[in-house]
Structure 1
Amino acid sequence: MGDINIPRSEQDALRSIDSEVLRELLEQCLRDERPSALRELRLDGCGLFISTKRHAFERALDAYGKAKADKKRAETLRDARSAGNTLLDAVQQMQHRMATEAEEGERFYIDDLIRPPHAFSTQLSVRVSYRWRPSPAEPWVHGDITFLYDVDLRPDYTRPPPARKPSAARQAQERQEALYREWEHLKDQALFSVRDYFRDGGTGADIPKTFQVKPNPYTRGLNNFSARFWADRP
């Protein structure tokens, strides 16, 4: 799954859900004290974000159904209703995001399916491909930008050293795991940076082919501004 684009299958599932119908079915679940009424909706196909909220609602509903004492029933009913409202809000939030993506898709699209390399060095890179056009009436222009990042893996001396020095193989594994996490962070920052640039009205003609990201001088890692390739422009 991509990072900034809702997959087509999830869009189809989201599009099939009427918020008012969902609201009514949630109330029915509370009356029935079981979640079976939700089966007629395609919630399972709406992605992890909504699935997580649905499972939370089902757990709260189960607790309500098992409660016996009046006070406990009132508490668990309140919790279940709150979880149901959270699920409804999540669906509406994703539907709004889908509508925003469709509107933005008339002017730009960013390919967020980026595969990691087989092995990592301290010189990381992520290439983001995109297409853009000044208006829907004009042809698409394709481009890409490569974000470069020299990772600083010097040890954090504020932490105590391990009681036993790990083996060379274990050190190599930990190094690759650390670099993978940095690569994932770089990928996210790169994608969000290009998306935010287009959202702010930027044009693909002004995007450089490469950009050396700027780590935080204190943490030596990336922050939310490290990949803003247009930040220093006049």
Structure 2
Amino acid sequence: MDLFDVARSCFRRWYVLLPLLAISVWYSYSVYSSVQPVYYANTVIGLAPPSVRQDSPSAGGEIRRNGLLDVGGASLVANLTALGLREPTVVDRVVAAGGSPDYTAKAFPTPPPNPQLPMVFVEQTSSDPAEVTKTLELVAAQAEVTLRTLQQQARVPEDQMVTPFVVTPPGTPVAAMPTRTRSTIAILAAGTGLSILVTVLADVLLTRLRSGRRIQPRPPISDTPRDGVPPYDVDAQREHEAPDDDAVDAR
């Protein structure tokens, strides 16, 4: 069966196809209307290097430097800060203060002319716009604690620590429905395909039933043997029952 056969079947059984298509369209519209919007916002946290880097020994003979900056630069500090903001203890503090645990944090370098000032990008998506704003504010506050704890563990001197600052505060959450159109199209396509399949199957079944009614039954054959002819020999029975031409001429 090719596409032309499918089209002919759908045309013949339009009274089956159209109601099924109507049901598919109605269900797709219901799904499209029932999807709730989600809200998205983000904040950007910058990292400020120490204002003074002391490369010469101090009075006590100690060189005070930020070892993290010496090893991997500000990019290393930004990546460690982004990872630290996703630590379970930090997430628990955000949730305990009324935020959501579903935020994401990642580091990305800024383009030239400031390649040495990477930033931490924090974003949040939720069905409640107030929750989005509150979560971002709480994460921005935790960035300072996280970065300070990280540098303390690396034994960075206080005056050589990198400090965070908010580059872009949380903006007004923007409503979006990222899955509504995609899910509606998928449901409509699946409903259309199923409707065509059911219509073709119904056409095949009805055609076979109608063809079976048009077949005329053959006349029954007597089961009684005639002159020694076995009853199961149908051709012999018919030849025996046929009138003899000589007998007809004699009459």
What TM-score does the superposition give when structure 2 sets the normalisation length? 0.23
| Larger CA Rg, structure 1 vs 2 | 2
Could you say which structure has the greater relative contact order, defined with CA pairs below 8 angstroms and 6 or more residues apart? 2
